[in-house]
Amino acid sequence: MRQSTKKTELKKCLIAAILLAICIQGAYVAAEPSRRAIEAVREVTTDPNEETVSDFINAMIWEYRKANWKKEYDNAADYLRAALYFLSQKPNTRKYESTLSKLNKVLMKQNADTSAETRLEIAKNLFLEGKYFASGYEFSNLLKEEYEVDLCYEYMGDIARKMNADDAAFAYYKQSLELNPDNLNAKYKYANLLLKQGKKDYARIYFEDVIENTNSEGVVNEIINTFINEINSNPDDENNYGILGLAYQKLGQYDKTYQLLKKAIMMNPNDVFLMYYLGNLLFNIGEYSFADEIYTEILEENPYESQIRISRAKSYAALSEYEKAIKDYQIVLAMYPDSLQAQYGMYTLLKERIPLERIVNLFYPLEPDYKLTDEGYNNLGYLANKMGNTIDASVFFEKSMKLNPKSSIPYIELYKVYQLLGLDDKAKATLLNAYKLFPKDEEILELYSAANSDKIDEKNNVALSYMNEGEYKKAITVYSQIEPKTAETYEAIANCYRQLADFKNAVTYYKKSVEIDPDDSDVYYALGVTYLEANNIDKAKEAFTKSVEKDDKNIKSKKMLAFIEQKEIIKSLDLAYNFYEKKDYPSALRYLDKAVKTFPNDPKVYYYRGLTRSELGDYKGAVDDLKETVAIDRTYIVAYYKLGEFLEKLNKEKEAMFMYEKYLGAETLDPELAKKAQQKVIQLGEKYY
């Protein structure tokens, strides 16, 4: 029974440590949160009711006072944000106003930038550090201000998932997608929750869209792992093989795709979408005739499937069967007159042979005099630009401008397209004309101002506008035209690659930036975050360390180093506990000895080593370790109780009684241990007094 109790105690403490790492709103070791704070986080995360929320708020305010007294203002602000996460749900109360006032005073002491842009960066960093309540407070405020709303909803969903609140996360991701259907990160997370809810058919639709549009091999590989597991648990669902095949196809592993699709079609030969996937695979590997056969077979039974007909038209075009391709496009337009894919498909097929106006006449053969409006050409321009066909986009926007010279849209888009193509003279002429025609248009004024200040500013401004639209590849193209490239240019390119989840190129360009400006602490910080996102912990630690070397006031990097350290501590403790649970105490002790050398200022490693030493009968060593625990953190209350136990083993009963009394003097106690400690104090008190 005694052995079981000790194992339970170690396990409880380990769980508390893990919760500390993922939820606690404190920061680095110098301001290690008290056991009271850890317990408050555990309780509010497990069961967020009125009592646990109140205890959590009080604990965070107590931690704020300690951090503020030590002038650790960054930590103090984070504790207050954590408390305000809950207090802001009932604003206009005295406690809310008081806590908000404290936060504002701390921010004033920091001389903090409180712009929405900066607070968004802070919120992201807090999330990355595992400070989810503090992060949630900032994202909630940004939502109220309607700043980057879809991104904030996405992060709120992430926070909800960390709190095991999947229903809330689902609602947040849904709101994010309603605002921005192109948010692939939110779409991927939403798909995972749909799958978890058992809504597999809906989930697969979203997974398919993510596979088609993502630039991240990491995400595709995660989807592969997900659907391998799905197949293992449900081998009779042919649709799982289809999605897995699409994921392998995205990675260019066509043999695997072919085998999976063949298997799925054998299971359900009437599945239109599986046949469609197979047709696309054959098209991608250049087997156009076979692809045509597949598409034709589907269309015989499903003549109104426009996407399949468009795919067949592409196969016909690849086979130089242009009349058949045109006919398919025309059939799609007869059914769906606004199909931009069909319109653009016909244009790409005929643009080298006949003028644009005649191509448009062919869209609807029953209406030979049909003409597109300027809006129609704009839409084609947007589509072509999105697909990376910038020259085609310029053709459409130029036509739109001729049709309606009083609209500012084609001028703005043409200016950016010309910049993308490196046609600087045409870009300037277009912008000058736009400025004369629309002198009060805010976007044109901004572009004109940048263009007339400096060439680099002009390119930066255009690239930034593409970044704001989420067009990171186009932003990279424009940034790449800047010569000579500054450290800031390389950093901007790296930021774009990071947004595309292309961490390899992001690292390359961050390194180019620090080659030019080796003292830029913030670029090393960005490099560290990129390594973290790529799950390269050692390189991340190296970059954050370099950042702090360049600027010892870079709190962001210090906090990230502390965050990594906490993860490493927990990993060491987890390994030690695995041996401890198997009663292999010597092996557990070896891991804890290493942890003490690596993290000499962390109270947890001494505490767990003390418990392990006691199992080996080394009570003197156990006492030494627990004394070190409370020397580092006098609020590590449970250590006093264990000290009492081990001192009794050494026949130091009077000192043991003093430790039990110290334990009982704490604010928050484990009821079972408190009862035992009271009994010990009574027994030992009768003996010595």
Q: What is the pLDDT of residues 622-658, one digit of tens each?
A: 999 999 999 988 878 889 999 999 999 999 988 989 9
Predicted confidence (pLDDT) per residue in 223-234, tens digit = 999 999 999 998
The pLDDT assigned to 522 comes to 92
Please tell me the least confidently modeled range out of 320-324, 389-393, 416-420, 575-579: 575-579
The pLDDT assigned to 38 comes to 72
Mean pLDDT along residues 318-343 = 95
354 burial class (0-12, 13-18, 19+ CB within 10 angstroms)? exposed
pLDDT beyond 60 at 35: yes
Tell how far CA 491 is from the center of its chain. 20
> What CA–CA distance (Å, rounded) separates 390 from 435?
23
The pLDDT assigned to 13 comes to 43
pLDDT beyond 60 at 141: yes
How distant, in Å, are the alpha carbons of 160, 199, 229, 230, 367 from that of 196? Answer: 15, 7, 12, 11, 50
Mean pLDDT along residues 214-222 = 88
> Which of 648, 527, 604, 635 has the alpha carbon at shortest distance from 33?
635
What crossing angle do the helices spanning 149-162 and 184-196 adopt, rounded to 10°?
40
> Which of 337, 269, 340, 256 has the alpha carbon at shortest distance from 301?
269
Cis peptide before 484 (omega within 30 of 0): yes
Residues 41/67, Cβ–Cβ less than 8 Å: no
Tokens representing 210?
């993510």
The pLDDT assigned to 542 comes to 94
Tokens representing 259?
């085998």
How many CB atoms neighbour CB 436 within 10 A? 10
Predicted confidence (pLDDT) per residue in 88-103, tens digit = 988 878 999 999 999 9
pLDDT beyond 50 at 5: no
> Which of 176, 118, 169 has the alpha carbon at shortest distance from 152?
176
Alpha helix segments (H runs only) across 442-554: 442-451, 455-468, 472-480, 487-499, 503-516, 521-533, 537-550
Mean pLDDT along residues 455-468 = 84
Tell how far CA 188 is from the center of its chain. 11
> What CA–CA distance (Å, rounded) separates 112 from 114?
6
Show the CA angle centred on residue 22, arms to residues 591 and 216, nearest 5°.
100
Mean pLDDT along residues 19-47 = 57
pLDDT band for position 395 (50/70/90)?
Answer: very high
End-to-end CA distance of the chain: 31
Indicate whether this model's pTM tops 0.85: no
Tell the residue number behind the tokens 């080394």, with chain if given.
618
pLDDT band for position 688 (50/70/90)?
Answer: low
pLDDT band for position 3 (50/70/90)?
Answer: very low
Mean pLDDT along residues 298-320 = 95
How many CB atoms neighbour CB 552 within 10 A? 11
> What CA–CA distance (Å, rounded) separates 164 from 387?
38
> What CA–CA distance (Å, rounded) separates 230 from 49?
36
Q: Report percent pLDDT > 90 for the chain.
A: 61
pLDDT beyond 60 at 21: no
CB contact set of 298 (below 8 Å; sequence gap of 6+): 272, 275, 276, 279, 305, 308
Q: What is the mean pLDDT of the chain?
A: 88
The pLDDT assigned to 405 comes to 93
The pLDDT assigned to 668 comes to 62
What crossing angle do the helices spanning 35-46 and 50-69 adopt, rounded to 10°?
150
> What CA–CA distance (Å, rounded) separates 480 from 472?
12
Predicted confidence (pLDDT) per residue in 545-587, tens digit = 999 999 988 888 888 888 787 777 777 788 888 888 888 999 9
pLDDT beyond 70 at 439: yes
Tell me the backbone φ, ψ of residue 369, rounded to 5 degrees: -95, 10
Mean pLDDT along residues 308-337 = 95
Residues 140/32, Cβ–Cβ less than 8 Å: no
Mean pLDDT along residues 610-616 = 92
Tell the residue number behind the tokens 């995360």, with chain if given.
45
> Which of 137, 176, 129 has the alpha carbon at shortest distance from 157?
176
pLDDT beyond 50 at 9: no
The pLDDT assigned to 15 comes to 38
pLDDT beyond 70 at 18: no
The pLDDT assigned to 321 comes to 96
pLDDT band for position 133 (50/70/90)?
Answer: very high
pLDDT beyond 60 at 116: yes
Of residues 422 and 562, the one with the higher pLDDT is 422
The pLDDT assigned to 502 comes to 87
pLDDT beyond 80 at 30: no
Residues 493/530, Cβ–Cβ less than 8 Å: no
pLDDT band for position 32 (50/70/90)?
Answer: low
The pLDDT assigned to 20 comes to 39
CB contact set of 56 (below 8 Å; sequence gap of 6+): 40, 41, 43, 44, 82, 83, 86
